Amino acid sequence: MSYYLATRESIVNWIKELALENQVYFPQKHGKVSYRFTQVGSDSDIQFACYVPTVVPPIKLLIPARDELLQFKKNSEGKCEVSAPLDTSFRIIAGVRPCDLKGIFLMDLFFRDGVSDAYYLTRRENTAIIAYSCVSACAPGAFCAAVDSLHHTEGADIFITPRAGEDLLIETKTELGKKLAAGTDWQRCHENAVRNEAASTPKPRQFGRTFPVAVPEITKIVAGKYQSPVWEKHVVRCFSCGTCNLVCPTCYCFDVTDDLNLDVASGNRTRTWDGCMLCQFAMVAGGHNFRNEPAARQRHRVNRKFVYLPEKYGQGAVCVGCGRCGRQCTTHIDIYDIVSDLIKEGGADDVTL
């Protein structure tokens, strides 16, 4: 691990130089108000100050909406041949904020668990992450500090932190990060000086929206609210469109389809994004739907973020507080509001299923 000081201009030039020989993605303006992680070109607007959260989180670059898992065909002898294409191309995702970095870190855990997912992990192993620390809330709906995402740094190869002046502090956290930083004219600085400066740097008293209790207590509260009327309160205006799932940095459910070509001898298997808020997500053979009502699906979604996965992996809340779900929801249903209402309700249900 090494530390450097660099000017904003030198960082921008460095990113553009990296893009000359690599696929580099950075949050760039798309349309009038939206931002998305777009491949960097010579004329790209690379800036860190005026950041607006992208509609789609950077993790989706590693989990395409449609991902081909395998191809199959019958050979001349009538036997089936199967090939599984893996994406081994190298990419750099730059400008990743701590909440999205935590999302990537959590996805790494999920896709390594049990039978590891070669498709995701191959892309991840061939991806460098250049993260950037937040000094103020990026949007009115952000609540990253409330779910312990604000100071997340694990998973980054290079972590950039703004300083009081014009310089930026660069931390190379991995061997790949050192390789990317090689050849720059950044000024080397000592770790003790960095720690002293960090300790003396004033922090905002409140960073985005907050909860009145800490994450461990939220987990206990949500777990005890299976029968709460809060689940019905927020879904009366829900269209079950699944947008909240599609823009979430930690949603990873998918559906798998086999498609046969017209020659009836070849085809492929693909997976596509799916989401627990969609009406048919929990439908099984025979037409039975385990979560037919929107309130049941909402309850499952919130429990996944604050109870089920936190208890399984021990990494705190799986909601990273980016605020995308509430921001992109057509009717402004916000997971922050749901959890806040559960906390206000107090106590626990008499019956927990």
Domain ranges of the chain: 2-345
Q: What pLDDT is attached to residue 351?
A: 39
Q: Which residue has the tokens 């627990």?
A: 276
From CA 320, how far away is CA 155, in angstroms rounded?
15
Tell whether the model's pLDDT for residue 353 goes beyond 80. Answer: no
Amino acid at 207: F
| CA dist., res. 23 & res. 11, Å (int) | 17
Which of 15, 49, 284, 242 lies closest to 128, judged by CA? 15
Between 32-46, 81-95, 328-342, the lowest mean confidence (pLDDT) is in 32-46
Predicted TM-score (pTM) of this structure: 0.91
Tell whether the model's pLDDT for residue 313 goes beyond 80.
yes
Place of tokens 């000081």: 5
Going by C-alpha positions, the residue among 121, 336, 325 that lies closest to residue 211 is 336
* Per-residue confidence band for 164, with pLDDT thresholds at 50, 70 and 90: confident
Structural contact between residues 35 and 28, judged by C-beta atoms closer than 8 angstroms: yes
- How sure is the predictor about 352, in pLDDT bands with cuts at 50, 70 and 90? very low
CA angle, 257 as apex, 253 and 263 as ends, to 5°? 160
Contact of 107 with 120, CB cutoff 8 Å: yes
Q: What is the pLDDT at residue 251?
A: 97
The average confidence (pLDDT) of the chain is 91
Asked if residues 144 and 336 have their Cβ atoms less than 8 Å apart, the reply is: no
**Distance between CA atoms of residues 37 and 28, nearest Å:** 6
CA distance 103 to 139: 18
pLDDT tens sequence across 116-150: 999 999 999 999 999 999 988 888 899 999 999 99
Distance CA 290, CA 334 (A): 24
Q: What is the pLDDT of residue 200?
A: 46
Q: How far is it, in rounded angstroms, from Cα 80 to Cα 246?
A: 35
CA distance 291 to 289: 5
Beta strands 91-96 and 23-30, pairing class? parallel
